[in-house]
């Protein structure tokens, strides 16, 4: 992610003005060989269930989340975003965990609080912050405004209630569906490597790490893909496929909501390979593609936005997604290692601004402390590989005092450069958090155990070496091979980046975005180590300080829908532009309708469009706005009268059955008095040859 607004000059002004006011074989690190014990393990029969639900937010006139450019406002939908959930329960002890991966930029703490609150209302203590792991794919093409911290809501002009509710409700529904789907089943664990879907975008920082760290990543990337395969009896029901790459194939010039490359990978497996139709009310295969330690991993293989392997950002999205899908399916199809053993979890909240870190975890062997959160100047430079920078800011911007002291080889005095040295400080978000909830300080840290497989859930973007060090710490504390431990980033809350101290010193984009200072990673190692010790011993651990509920402090500057009006002589749903009479494969059909604002009804678990095919005299839905080949665009015609149109396109993919088709638009209009009325428009029919 780019810190809110880091890709636009508008953010720098806003910040200054607003804020300154399971086995080792299956998940082994590169070079780790299977153990005989792992190969011979017998599977444990768990209760397993899967679920999926829609989390698509407002599709027009709302700032998008990820790049946080003030110029990037949603104008429609390419593909809907979804939450995918799996529940695993130990049949002997009753202990369980719920794992969620959602097509979102981040899981903000606001979302965790909302989801846990609703699950508690429904299930009591059965699902809690202790055993529910919420993670995001990190798409940069979703609607924003669902955080309770100002820094992440700037580009969306504040908190957007409808988007927030869509996300929370969708995640809860996916967990409920997984819970109700619980049946006896087994899990197997597989691993492989994928080397053509990521590149290190911050190699100058990566190269400053010790040789022992870099040796784990010969190509400066984390190529590991880890796959959990879920079965109920003899039926395959789903998979979780972890791989480290930024979900940023689509650039900040795109304004259509999309789950990006990881969403396409899930769609290709679920819809393309398994025949899942999301709007059908029946169970289907669920394929989640979460991220791991992807902080410095980019899918833009040519190291510039929207470039690599082609110069078409949508084609890149498809290709990078397809590569993840195919590798995951290959691993999934292999025998794998049975997952066996108990189910357990630990979670505690930690004030990351006030951690005293023991010398055991620090580079110099001395005790250090983390710092109040501060945004570095190089944050506003952005990562040029994934998005344009703000003029005047460059990666590598250090404190000017650091440069003066370098020739003398002395430690800078605390009073001169402060705790965040050598960061060139820009916005002291931690110092103003009481007045303005700008960035979080109390964060959830969690470890989930499923048999011999451990997920370390961290609330940020961990670089590959940061993830490696945490995995080593946790594995050593648990007394298990490092291959049994996986870093799950973008989990349960969001606090930007986590770099190693050596990477931090370079103050590239990721280092400038490491909020709590040079010893942020050592603090995480220490705190995750404590969680691992509690998990190993089977003892409880203190929950830690309760993060504040900031829901009552939210504001928005985004205007709502005042009214919708059709053009003179027209009605809502009327066709403005009809399709041609026929289309050949690879051609694109376009239809325009008189419409209302999509904010009137998000149509979650529904659709704004249908491509219908005539089958035996009946019109049958062929595709909708969750499909890759369709696009729904909302276009404002007159802001004073509230007149707008929907532009629906359908690319007729090769292999589309010949026949008769039509395009249908579903929308909703709003009167000046606030009444919302649904309508449907239908194009004339056309043929596909």
Helix, coil or strand: residue 161 = helix
What is the reported pLDDT for 401? 38
The Cα 114–Cα 171 span in angstroms is 10
What is the reported pLDDT for 33? 37
Helix, coil or strand: residue 201 = coil
What is the reported pLDDT for 388? 52
What's the start-to-end Cα distance of the chain, in Å?
A: 44
Instruction: Kindly report the CATH number that applies to the domain delimited by 575-688.
Output: 2.60.40.2300
CA distances from 651 to 285, 398, 588 (A): 26, 49, 4
652's CB contacts (< 8 A; 6+ apart) are 583, 584, 585, 586, 587, 588, 589, 629, 688
What is the reported pLDDT for 42? 77
What is the reported pLDDT for 138? 98
Best CA proximity match to 252, nearest among 413, 383, 443: 383
253's CB contacts (< 8 A; 6+ apart) are 72, 306, 313
Name the strands in the sheet holding 343-351, side by side, starting at the edge strand that comes first in the sequence.
343-351, 442-450, 453-457, 485-488
Domain regions of the chain by residue span: 28-46+185-350+439-551, 575-688
Best CA proximity match to 7, nearest among 311, 305, 317, 296: 305
Q: Whole-model pTM? A: 0.91
Q: What is the mean pLDDT of each run of 10 residues along the chain (689 residues)?
A: 38 37 36 40 90 98 91 97 98 96 98 98 98 98 97 94 98 98 98 98 98 97 98 97 98 97 98 96 95 98 96 98 98 97 98 97 96 79 56 52 40 51 83 88 98 98 98 98 97 98 96 96 98 98 96 92 97 98 98 98 98 98 98 97 98 97 98 97 98
Residue 147 annotated in active site = no
What is the reported pLDDT for 269? 98
CB 523 within 8 A of CB 357: yes
What is the reported pLDDT for 25? 34
Q: Which of 174, 202, 298, 565 is catalytic?
A: 298
What is the reported pLDDT for 433? 80
């Amino acid at each position: 992610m780019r810190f809110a607004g880091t890709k636009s000059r508008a953010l720098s002004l806003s910040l200054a003005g607003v804020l300154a006011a399971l086995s080792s074989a299956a998940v082994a690190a590169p070079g780790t060989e299977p153990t005989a014990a792992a190969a011979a393990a017998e599977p444990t029969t768990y209760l397993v269930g899967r679920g999926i639900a829609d989390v698509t937010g407002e599709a027009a006139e709302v700032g998008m989340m990820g790049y946080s450019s003030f110029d990037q406002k949603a104008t429609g939908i390419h593909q809907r975003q979804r939450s995918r959930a799996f529940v695993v329960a130990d049949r002997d002890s009753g202990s369980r965990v719920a794992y969620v991966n959602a097509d979102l930029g981040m899981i903000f703490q606001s979302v965790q609080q909302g989801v846990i609150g609703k699950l508690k209302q429904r299930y009591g203590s059965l699902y809690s912050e202790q055993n529910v792991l919420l993670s995001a794919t990190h798409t940069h093409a979703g609607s924003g405004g669902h955080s309770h911290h100002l820094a992440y809501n700037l580009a969306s002009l504040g908190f957007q209630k409808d988007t927030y509710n869509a996300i929370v409700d969708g995640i809860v529904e996916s967990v409920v569906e997984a819970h109700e789907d619980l049946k006896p089943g087994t899990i197997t664990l597989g691993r492989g490597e994928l080397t053509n879907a990521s590149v290190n975008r911050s190699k100058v920082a990566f190269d400053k790490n010790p040789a022992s760290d870099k040796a784990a990543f010969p190509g400066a990337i984390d190529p590991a893909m880890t796959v959990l395969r879920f079965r109920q009896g003899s039926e395959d029901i789903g998979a979780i496929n972890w791989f480290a790459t930024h979900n940023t194939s689509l650039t900040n010039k795109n304004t259509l909501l999309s789950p990006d490359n990881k969403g396409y990978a899930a769609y290709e497996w679920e819809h393309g390979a398994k025949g899942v139709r999301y709007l059908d009310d029946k169970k289907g295969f669920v394929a989640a593609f979460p991220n791991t330690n992807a902080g410095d991993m980019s899918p833009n293989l040519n190291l510039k936005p929207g470039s690599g392997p082609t110069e078409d950002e949508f084609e890149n999205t498809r290709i990078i997604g397809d590569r993840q899908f195919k590798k995951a399916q290959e691993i999934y199809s292999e025998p794998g290692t049975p997952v066996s053993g108990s189910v357990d979890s630990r979670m505690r909240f930690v004030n990351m601004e006030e951690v005293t870190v023991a010398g055991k975890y620090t580079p110099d062997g001395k005790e250090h402390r983390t710092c109040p959160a501060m945004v570095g100047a190089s944050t506003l430079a952005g990562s040029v590989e994934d998005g344009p920078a703000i003029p005047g800011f460059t990666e590598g911007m250090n404190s000017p005092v650091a440069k003066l002291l370098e020739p003398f080889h002395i430690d800078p005095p605390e009073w001169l450069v402060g705790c965040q040295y050598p960061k060139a400080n820009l916005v002291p978000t931690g110092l103003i958090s009481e007045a303005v909830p700008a960035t979080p300080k109390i964060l959830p840290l969690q470890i989930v155990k499923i048999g011999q497989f451990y997920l370390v859930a961290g609330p940020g973007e961990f670089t590959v070496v940061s993830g490696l060090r945490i995995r080593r710490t946790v594995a050593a504390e648990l007394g298990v091979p490092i291959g049994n431990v996986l870093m799950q980033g973008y989990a349960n809350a969001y606090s930007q980046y986590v770099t190693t101290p050596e990477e931090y010193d370079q103050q590239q984009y990721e280092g400038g975005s490491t909020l709590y200072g040079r010893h942020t990673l050592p603090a995480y190692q220490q705190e995750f180590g404590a969680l691992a010790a509690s998990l190993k011993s089977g003892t409880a651990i203190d929950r830690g300080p309760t993060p504040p509920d900031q829901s009552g402090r939210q504001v928005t500057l985004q205007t709502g829908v005042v009214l919708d009006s059709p053009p003179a002589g027209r009605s809502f749903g009327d066709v403005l532009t009809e399709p041609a009479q026929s289309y050949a494969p690879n051609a694109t059909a376009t239809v325009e309708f008189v419409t209302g604002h999509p904010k009137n009804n998000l149509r979650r678990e529904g659709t704004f469009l249908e491509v219908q095919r005539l089958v035996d005299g009946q019109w049958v839905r062929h595709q909708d706005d969750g499909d890759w080949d369709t696009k729904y665009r909302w276009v404002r015609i007159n802001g004073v009268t509230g007149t707008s149109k929907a532009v629906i396109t359908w690319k007729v993919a090769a292999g589309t059955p010949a026949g008769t088709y039509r395009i249908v638009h579903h929308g909703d209009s709003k009167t000046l008095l606030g009444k919302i009325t649904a309508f449907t428009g239908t194009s004339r029919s056309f043929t596909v040859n």
